[in-house]
A and B are shown apart, each in its own frame.
Chain A
């Protein structure tokens, strides 16, 4: 069993994650992170955002480089479509978070993954954002994530991976549960 586990390589350093978990149990203050993004309006509905720094383990941290993102709206909204629609970033975030979780849990459980693909669908009635019908919410009606996973494991073990990944996912929590949002101006 140990041999099998040792041969499984999903490219996730589980030992480091488990080590961090243990260390942070002893030093819960270091577990307090702050994630950041900054953005600038470029014209029309086009905004450029970037991420680079964050705070964690008690000090300022940096990504290896700055990552930039364009968000805009498609041409059918009379926009120039210079980037993804902001709501699509939510789907991107959810897919990235759940899939990272699946890889980590699989590594921890000794399951070799061959392919993990997901499609995400999020219906939305835009009568909400257009202010046509106040009974319609602005956001998604729901989100459906459909995974196709090939792995050396039973259907049930794969289902358990996906379930555990949701249980530990930050983005899953963010989209399923309310969060207080404070938007301040010129402060």
Chain B
């Protein structure tokens, strides 16, 4: 009964823009909307920086150094520009930013549905309904940890954890661990769990190998200096493929110049091919391990050569060029792992993340469930998305990458509000 009354007295608000999500992306959008005096509200299902609080493992540190931690009008002010923020530090940074930007955030307000209503949007939340002319989706890129279908065949008695379930090695049963996926997530898990004393096998498909430091400087320094991070999505060959690439094998630490499969092997991690199936309790790995490693080595080498080339034309104080040892692959990597009769107690699926759009009742998703957009301008008038990989630039998914994207998209949104209709061309300036 109380619920019915609550339903009846639910407030109905009207505003120009509803921003969904109060993470770094939503707050950056709010900053630019406020600067243009556009009436808006930021709806947050939990606390500010919610994904950073709830969708990350304990030891995770940002993959970008502190000097790159900046948001529109706001910079890292600490004493360790070359360090990497832990999750509590990221949360604090984003909380401080929310205060700085005086963002109109409504916390614990979960958006349950966004519908097209007349020429505007109806945003239904657990705390009322808003009518808005425009919607900015800033709800994160990693809400759901992927678990491929093969996970259904995991034999009983073996724990099957997603990348969101895993917090630290203490939660694991004693015994072997199979980690599926060799992106930044999988490599960090493998390293940490191996160091905690478990037998670890890592199943490796296509991956992106990248050193933490190159020629004495952080890789992000080079990615930034060479202009790669600023590269526009329009200049990237096959951007849809690029947007789906696994995260590069980086860790937020300068303890070693590179965390790669060689380093894991040195520490006793067993490297096998991509997990292709589980049949009668036996995991089957692809025989393509050598090639995926060769591809990653070639691509890394090409990137390092491009950096060397850039340095030749733009002298910078740095060390001599260096090359990393090619990825070592066993002559006969294991193709089978008997899960039932081996020591494996846990499988962790480090197989990527995807956004949750289950609340989005507007037909803007493609057949793979991805949002259809052109540089963040969604395929629906007045709808925008922020914070996805390579949304408008290579740096789009990084904290510092949000500024340019949010500035341009919120300018596009302001024009849209002024014209009150669809703008010619969908590209933001």
Contact = CB atoms under 8 A, between A and B. Distances in A.
Main secondary structure of the interface of B (DSSP, over half): mixed
Contact of B295 (A28, A156, A167, A178): A167
B354 to A, nearest CB: 19
A119 interface: no
Contacts of A175: 287
B279 A178 contact: yes
Interface string A147-175: 00000000010011001101100001101
Contacts of A177: 276, 284, 286-288
Contacts of A163: 291, 294-295, 298
B171 interface: no
Nearest to B301: A156
A60 B128 CA distance: 56
Contacts of A167: 206, 291-292, 295
A142 interface: yes
A159 B294 CA distance: 9
Contacts of B341: none
Interface string B272-296: 0100110100001011100110110
A176 interface: yes
A153 to B, nearest CB: 13
B3 interface: no
A176 B298 contact: no
B332 interface: yes
B149 interface: no
Given A28-B367, A176-B288, A156 B279 contact: no
Interface in A32-60: none
Interface in B194-240: 206
Contacts of B298: 156, 159-160, 163
Interface residues of B, number: 17
A173 B292 CA distance: 12
A144 B6 CA distance: 70
Contacts of B286: 176-177
B284 A166 contact: no
Contacts of B332: 142
A127 to B, nearest CB: 18
Interface in A100-122: none
A8 B369 CA distance: 40
B287 A176 contact: yes
B356 to A, nearest CB: 24
B207 to A, nearest CB: 12
A95 B236 CA distance: 32
Interface string B283-317: 01011100110110010010000000000000000
B150 to A, nearest CB: 11
Contacts of A166: 288, 291
Contacts of A173: 288
A75 to B, nearest CB: 32
Nearest to A165: B291
Interface string B168-206: 000000000000000000000000000000000000001
Nearest to B290: A166
Contacts of B277: 178
B74 to A, nearest CB: 40
B228 to A, nearest CB: 19
A178 B286 CA distance: 8
A122 to B, nearest CB: 12
A177 B288 CA distance: 8
Contacts of A164: 295
Nearest to B332: A142
Nearest to A172: B288
A167 B293 CA distance: 11
Among A164, A175, A178, max chain B CB count under 10 A is at: A178
A163 B295 CA distance: 6
Nearest to B289: A176
B337 to A, nearest CB: 13
Given A163-B295, A166-B291, A178 B301 contact: no
Nearest to B296: A163
Interface of B: 206, 273, 276-277, 279, 284, 286-288, 291-292, 294-295, 298, 301, 332, 367
Closest 10 CB pairs of A and B: A176-B287, A166-B291, A177-B276, A176-B288, A163-B294, A163-B295, A178-B284, A177-B286, A160-B298, A178-B277
Given A164-B295, A176-B273, 9 more contacts: A142-B287, A159-B294, A160-B298, A166-B291, A167-B206, A172-B291, A176-B288, A177-B276, A178-B279
28 contacts: A142-B287, A142-B332, A156-B298, A156-B301, A159-B298, A160-B298, A163-B291, A163-B294, A163-B295, A163-B298, A164-B295, A166-B288, A166-B291, A167-B206, A167-B291, A167-B292, A167-B295, A172-B288, A172-B291, A173-B288, A175-B287, A176-B287, A177-B276, A177-B284, A178-B276, A178-B277, A178-B279, A178-B284
